[in-house]
Copies of this chain bind each other. A is one copy, B any other.
Amino acid sequence: MVDIIRVNMTDGSIQRDPLPKSYEGLGGRGLTSAFLLKEVEPTCTPIGPLNKLIFAPGLLGGTNCANSGRISVGAKSPLTGTIKEANSGGQAGSYLARLGIAAIVVEGQPKDGRLFKLHVTRDRCELLPADELKGLGNYASVEKLKGTYGDRVGYVSIGQAGEWKLGAASVAFSDRDGRPTRHAGRGGLGAVMGSKGLKAIVIDPAGGEAAPLADKDAFREASKRFLNALQTHPVTSQGLTNFGTDILINIINEAGGLPTRNFSTGRFEGAEKVGGETLNSVTTARKGDCSHGCMAGCVIRCSGVYLDEKGDYVSKWPEYETVWAWGPNCGIDDLDAIARMDRGCDDIGLDTIETGNAVAVAMEAGIKSFGDVAGAEELLAEIGKGTPLGRILGSGAGAVGKVFGVRRVPVVKNQALPAYDPRAVKGVGVTYATSPMGADHTAGYAVATNIMKVGGDVDPLSVAGQVDLSRGLQIATAAIDTAGLCLFVAFPVMDIPDAMVAVADMISAKYGIKMTVDDFNALGSRVLKMEREFNTRAGFTAADDRLPEFFKLEKLAPHNHVFDVPDEELDRVFNF
């Protein structure tokens, strides 16, 4: 039996009820999207009282399946105006699942602008004043909360960006060390949390227990096969484990698809200085941790610990997309500075992709120069101070473009593009254009097949095959996000046929159902259809499933391609 907790911020009431039948068989992204489609008016004001903010662990949450502890956050996005799901590692997903909670649904809005924290324990759920946290960043907030709640709980929080309802505001989740380093970054969900007056959620797992399994033996057997796949595939057992996601810098640079200086060229002369190999050697030299899991049950352990020259903690290892956003995309090759900015984003509560893009667009506008490390750090500090310039930057790349009259603004549905140029990796360009989430590499990671030749081989520069590739990946990803699995399991899943069967077998064994791989994919299709339906009702059309004009007009060096997947092809992605 799993429950949902409804928290009404208008009157402070809280209710715990069994998950309604209509939501059964859904978790994670599938559940947040289903709630939104059913309960939220798609044209509502994202930071108004009619929006809802939903937290949900995945279908495999609370089990001992490897890498199954992701938590999905959903709402209508203040950044894109679309339905939005962003998911995160950290401890919250598994803790909630072990408390038998399928979802927390935050509704309404307090009238007076006050701040609250939600304390969730096995037996009760309580809304308490949190005025003492007002204006604090995530690190200070969590530190303060630890004084009351200690180390053995999970923290969910927003920084200043969320309180100010900025479009790039993230929701932070504490990691295994109790640091707010894991973020549901994209789409400004922190702003929705801020608009609800909810500064933090404290999840105490005490007394919780592993999720019940309909068939324990079958589950154990399937989870072993799954684990084996993770520990066999070179990406999940070596590449990510040793070099973090930042291993991609040199790979994508080599492929000519590393967007440099606001997407003006595809190779960065300083790539090597900020790539995963350097990250590893710097960390090793400083006696930091090169292999660290962001959540319990992780066997990939891509999240290292970054130390400064004196050996003091700076941040978790910045992700590839973070290194890119603050690095090559701003013309910056200083890894220490990038790690500081990663820490700054985590603290203020900002999506690093959106914010790095915002700064790069500001550089294009002439506010700072590309390559100006001190300038970039200054701009991030402006966001933390909440100055007008900081508010613009914290509202995302689209806002910077509008306010400063920039023509070259890399956004789809007003969400900034991640670290792969769509002209050199056309499959992921199709995903950027068509995902119901706005530009998002995680929505259908065609980079795997275009560049890393995982799950097949589709020429990154050709048009042929990209739409089918993106479609298949978007469907599989929606299912993986619904299961609550870390997206990196996709590498073995795409290459090792039995891995996906094992996922379906685990879900079957947990819920006492018979799920095939086809059923698992059907689940992904169903989730995408719900999301598309929400967006259609919100007013989105095929005209929104397009890349910005400049990708079609300007050739990208070194391959000198434009993005040339025809519109009619893009419109074939959701032909199911």
Contacts and interface: CB of A to CB of B under 8 A. Distances in A.
Interface of A: 42-45, 47-50, 78, 164-167, 191, 194-195, 387-389, 391-392, 395, 399, 402-405, 407, 537-544, 546, 548-550, 553
Contact of A540 (B165, B539, B550, B553): B539
A395 B402 contact: yes
B403 A395 contact: yes
Contact of A407 (B48, B391, B399, B539): B48
Contacts of A544: 539
Given A388-B387, A388-B392, A395-B403, A537 B543 contact: yes
A539 B543 contact: yes
Contacts of A42: 543
B539 A195 contact: no
Contacts of A403: 166, 388, 391-392, 395, 399, 403
A166 B405 CA distance: 6
Contact of A549 (B44, B405, B407): B44
B391 A404 contact: yes
A144 to B, nearest CB: 23
B194 A405 contact: yes
8 contacts: A43-B543, A47-B407, A164-B404, A166-B405, A388-B389, A395-B402, A403-B403, A539-B543
Interface of A is mostly: loop
A112 to B, nearest CB: 14
How many copies, total? 2
A164 B405 contact: yes
A405 B542 CA distance: 28
Given A395-B402, A399-B399, 19 more contacts: A43-B543, A44-B549, A45-B407, A45-B550, A47-B405, A164-B404, A165-B405, A166-B405, A194-B405, A195-B405, A387-B388, A388-B388, A388-B392, A391-B392, A391-B404, A399-B402, A539-B542, A539-B544, A541-B541
A47 B539 CA distance: 23
B392 A45 contact: no
Contacts of A540: 539
5 smallest beta-carbon distances between A and B, as pairs? A165-B405, A539-B543, A388-B389, A388-B388, A45-B549
A566 to B, nearest CB: 14
Contacts of A164: 404-405
Which residue, of A194, A407, A540, has the highest number of chain B Cβ atoms within 10 A?
A: A407
A544 B540 CA distance: 9
A543 B82 CA distance: 12
A70 B254 CA distance: 58
Contacts of A45: 407, 548-550
A50 B392 contact: no
A538 B222 CA distance: 49
A550 B47 CA distance: 12
A290 B537 CA distance: 51
A538 B543 contact: yes
A358 to B, nearest CB: 12
A195 B543 contact: no
A195 B407 contact: yes
A208 to B, nearest CB: 35
Nearest to A45: B549
A86 B49 CA distance: 35
Nearest to A538: B543
A541 B81 CA distance: 14
Contacts of A387: 388
Contacts of A166: 403, 405
A166 B401 CA distance: 10
A50 B554 CA distance: 13
B550 A48 contact: yes
Nearest to A389: B388
Given A388-B392, A392-B391, A541-B541, A546 B48 contact: no
A166 B403 CA distance: 7
A540 B543 CA distance: 9
Given A539-B540, A539-B544, A549 B388 contact: no
Contacts of A44: 549
A549 B48 contact: yes
